[in-house]
């Protein structure tokens, strides 16, 4: 929960997780949110990969879990998608996970790709004269 706590202000987090109204976040509610996020991610990626993932868990899975949890917590507070600061990010992560399942994106970066990530094209500069003459 510390990753989520760093992303959501404390009072909002307590409000989202305090179902019994005692002013304290309920651990069982957090576990429910955590389980729902894990189920969503595993259900999506499990169509192509063996889930649950073991350490090291792919970065996209961890990032997705954090964002989806924040989105869910705001929804628990009754914040509609258009006012939810996590809604667009959550939709983007869901689309990215779907692309991973479809094979359009990798689950983890392939550092041994046939094509380099960056290419450099160089040529002589056309902004300077080879004769360096100044006319008046």
What pLDDT digit, counting tens, does each position of 70-94 carry? 999 999 988 888 999 999 999 999 9
pLDDT at 126: 62
The whole-angstrom separation of Cα 47 and Cα 68 is: 19
- Report yes or no: 37 and 63 within 8 Å, Cβ to Cβ: no
pLDDT at 59: 93
For 49-77, what is the mean pLDDT? 94
Q: How do the residues of the chain divide into helix, strand and coil, expressed in percent and rounded to 5? A: 45, 0, 55
| Vertex 120 angle, CA 117 and 126, to 5° | 155
Using 50, 70 and 90 to split pLDDT, how confident is the model at 109? Answer: confident
């Amino acid at each position: 929960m510390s990753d989520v706590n760093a992303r959501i202000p404390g009072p909002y987090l307590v409000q989202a997780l305090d179902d019994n109204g005692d002013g304290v976040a309920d651990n069982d509610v957090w576990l429910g949110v955590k389980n729902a996020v894990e189920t969503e991610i595993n259900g999506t990626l499990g169509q192509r990969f063996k889930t649950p993932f073991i350490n090291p868990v792919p970065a996209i899975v961890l990032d997705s879990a954090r964002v989806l949890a924040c989105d869910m917590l705001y929804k628990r507070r009754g914040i509609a998608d258009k006012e939810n600061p996590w809604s667009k990010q959550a939709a983007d992560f869901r689309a990215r996970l779907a692309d991973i399942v479809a094979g359009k994106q990798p689950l983890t970066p392939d550092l041994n790709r046939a094509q380099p990530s960056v290419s450099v094209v160089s040529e002589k500069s056309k902004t300077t004269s080879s004769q360096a003459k100044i006319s008046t």
